[in-house]
């Protein structure tokens, strides 16, 4: 009986923190995903700039 009581209390305590934890984890992953997209776009722009400069250098 004592174990059962402890597990019920444990589950009740965990219900909201777990939701909170998964929500914040999802938020962190979303932010990191956005950052990686921003970095990818920045990289593409930098590569385009480098290519443009190379073309200008080749054309004289």
- Judged against a pLDDT cut of 70, whether residue 4 lies above it is answered with no
Residue closest to 21 by CA, chosen among 54, 13, 48, 9? 13
Element (H, E) at 1: none
- Between CA 3 and CA 17 the distance in angstroms is 22
Residue closest to 10 by CA, chosen among 2, 26, 20, 22? 2
Q: Is the pTM higher than 0.85?
A: no
Tens digits of residue pLDDT in 24-58: 788 888 888 888 888 888 888 888 888 888 777 77
């Amino acid at each position: 009986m004592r174990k059962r009581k402890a597990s019920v209390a444990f589950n009740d305590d965990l219900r909201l923190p777990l939701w909170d934890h998964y929500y914040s984890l999802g938020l962190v992953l979303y932010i990191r995903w956005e950052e990686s997209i921003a970095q990818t776009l920045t990289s593409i722009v930098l590569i385009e700039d480098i290519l443009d400069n190379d073309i200008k250098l080749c054309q004289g």
